[in-house]
Amino acid sequence: MPEDTVPQHDGMMERAKRVRAGQSKGSLKAEVNGVHDLAVAMLADGDKLLERAHLIERFKEFGLCRDNGQSMAHLQDWFNSSSVGLLQIPTEFADFLLYCAKYRPSSMVEIGVYTGGTSFMAAAFFKALNPEFKLTAVDIADYILLEQRTIDLLDIQICTPKTSGDFYAQEFDIVFIDGDHSYKWAKTDYLNLGRFAKYVCGFHDINAHECSKTDGGIVKFWRQLRHSLAEKYAVLQICHSALGTGMREDGDWMGIGVVDHGGRAAS
């Protein structure tokens, strides 16, 4: 079995350690090397990344994490050969970054980083706009497929094993919530960190109906929250899923919810 298809979580942590130490092999090694070069190129791009077409090209160079399902069947020309890459509808996350760019943030916390796809793109993008930028990557385990030199270059602080509870009430310019998608955890992450975001709190998977079975999941929490906050803050949704994707006939899937505090964090 190629080393990038190890299925269990212990194997994924071992794989992350090998990548960190520069000891990965095959396509994984080639792709993490390429990701470092991409980071260097994006930092050199600076404000050119604010041109949407150029940013989408950079997203395409980063690519999507190879999967063996049908989840993003219409994006076959985006897939990598290894687990390196995004696990998102790429244009949704690109538009999320572009929306936040008006604040030129200097800090972001991401809750739930998995292999580090969104962490990488966010850190490279925001650091290109603001050299002071730092990203705090919070997860219950370290599966991040970035070499140490890339992590250092982009000022990513890996915080594992941790949850939002370890950062209660700390203020970050941007908070991106993509951890446990249950109702309990979506709400907990918002109460611990999201409501204290100085500028923007984003939620990934506001249409993750596959996570709704037990307690309503993030789908239920987001619908409560968006209505609760819409009078006070700008609340937006970035949803680009194609018909036929996800588990519903109408293709309603993934999606990013945005609460814009505009410098006035919720109490």
Ligand X SMILES: C[S@@+](CC[C@H](N)C(=O)[O-])C[C@H]1O[C@@H](n2cnc3c(N)ncnc32)[C@H](O)[C@@H]1O
Where do contacts with ligand X occur on this chain (CB under 6 A)? Answer: 87-88, 111-114, 117-118, 138-141, 143, 163, 178-180, 185
| List of residues 6+ apart from 71 with CB closer than 8 A | 245, 246
Q: Which is nearer to ligand X, 24 or 136 (CB)?
A: 136
Cβ-based nearer residue to ligand X, 51 or 166:
166
Closer to ligand X by Cβ: residue 88 or 245: 88
Q: Would you say 49 or 138 has its CB closer to ligand X? A: 138
What does the DSSP assignment read for 23-47? ---HHHHHHHHHHHHHHHHHHHHGG
Tell me the closest approach of the beta carbon of residue 250 to ligand X, in angstroms.
22
Q: For residue 212, which phi and psi values (nearest 5 degrees)?
A: -90, -10
Residue least distant from ligand X (Cβ): 112
| Residue 22, both tokens | 């520069």
CB of 118 to ligand X, least distance (A): 4
Residue closer to ligand X by CB (options 118, 136) is 118
Q: Give 240's contacts (C-beta < 8 A, 6+ positions apart).
A: 89, 91, 92, 95
- Please state the closest distance from residue 182 (CB atom) to ligand X, in A: 9
With H, G, I as helix, E, B as strand and everything else as coil, classify residue 159: strand
Of 140 and 191, nearer to ligand X (C-beta) is 140
Spatial strand order in the sheet of 107-111: 156-159, 134-138, 107-111, 174-177, 200-204, 256-260, 234-238
Q: Least distance to ligand X from the beta carbon of 73, Å?
A: 19
Please give the DSSP secondary-structure letter assigned to residue 241.
Answer: P
Indicate the residue among 101 and 109 with the shorter CB distance to ligand X: 109
The DSSP output letter for 64 is: B
DSSP 136: E
Question: Residue type at 120?
Answer: F
Least separation in angstroms between residue 116's CB and ligand X is 7
Residues 6 or more apart whose Cβ sits within 8 Å of residue 49: 42, 55, 58, 125, 128, 129
Least distance to ligand X, CB of residue 264, Å: 26
Closest distance between ligand X and the C-beta of residue 90, in Å?
A: 10
